[in-house]
Each structure stands twice: as structure tokens, then as C-alpha cells.
Amino acid sequence: MQKLAILVGLFVTVACCIVPAQETVAMHANIPFDFRMGNKVVPAGTYLIQATGGAITLRQEGGHIVTASFLTHAESRVTLINHGELVFHRYGDDYFLASVWTPFSNQGRVLPETKSEQQEARLAGGLAKVQSISTK
């Protein structure tokens, strides 16, 4: 699994160098709970979220990289909102970052479900509560 993560990281790095420059959207959010992004547990705090193409990067306020370049897939919705939004799936006390929506757009990036989220979903009967946080 670790080899796969390294390979994906290398692929993202190479793809970023080869693919023409894409617009980066930066947002700030205060997340009041610990959450999972991929397989990593991320502590509550204030974050800079950057969305570039298919990658999401989180930086804790102060510049520390918490999770770098997590691959996502595109999704769109009917409504256009004027602020960014982070959407979390919640199972009991466990939160999983599910999607990132950029401001003034109906386009978002969705993170794939991890095995741990799928397991939590099974234990909860497949029902996740959705928690949204607006970004600045």
C-alpha cells in the first residue's frame, strides 16, 4: 500500500510538471473537529485549502503541510454558491473529508472513499450525516 502511495505521489508530481498550468483556487477554513483525509487523521484547526486541477492540498495555518496532493474526481451541482465549501461525511464521532467546492462555481472535487470510511459506513448502516463548513 505504501508503494502505491509513493507511485501516486510521483505520478502527481510528474503530471503537474507536464500538464499546462492550471488555475489554483485557495480558500481558508476553520475546522472545529479532527477529521480524516484519505488515510490520515488531521487535527482540528485553521487550514489553507488549495485546489489545483485534480489535486487538493491542505496546509495548517503557519505553513505546515498536513496532506499534500490528494487525487480527486470532478463533480458538478446545479446551484452556484458565492463561497467555498468543505463537505464531510460523519459516522458517529468520525468525520471524513468528502468534497471541496470552490467559490462562485458549481464545480467541486470529490475524494474517493477509503476502506476505513467504507467500514464506518457499514457499521452505521450506510447512513452518513453531512457536515458542511464554509470557506473564506
Q: What is the pLDDT of residues 42-57, one digit of tens each?
A: 888 899 998 887 888 8
In degrees, rounded to 5, the angle at the alpha carbon of residue 91 between the alpha carbons of residues 28 and 52 is 30
* pLDDT band at 11; cut points 50, 70, 90: low
Strands 55-60 and 64-71, how do they pair?
A: antiparallel
Report H helices in 1-136. Answer: 2-18, 115-123
* pLDDT band at 88; cut points 50, 70, 90: very high
Whole domain around residue 86: which residue ranges?
Answer: 2-134
Span 64-74, pLDDT tens digits: 666 656 778 88
Grid cell in block for residue 32: 472545529
How many domains does the chain fold into?
Answer: 1
Q: Which helix (H) or strand (E) holds 105?
A: strand 105-110
Grid cell in block for residue 110: 470529490
Count other C-beta atoms under 10 Å from residue 26's C-beta. Answer: 14
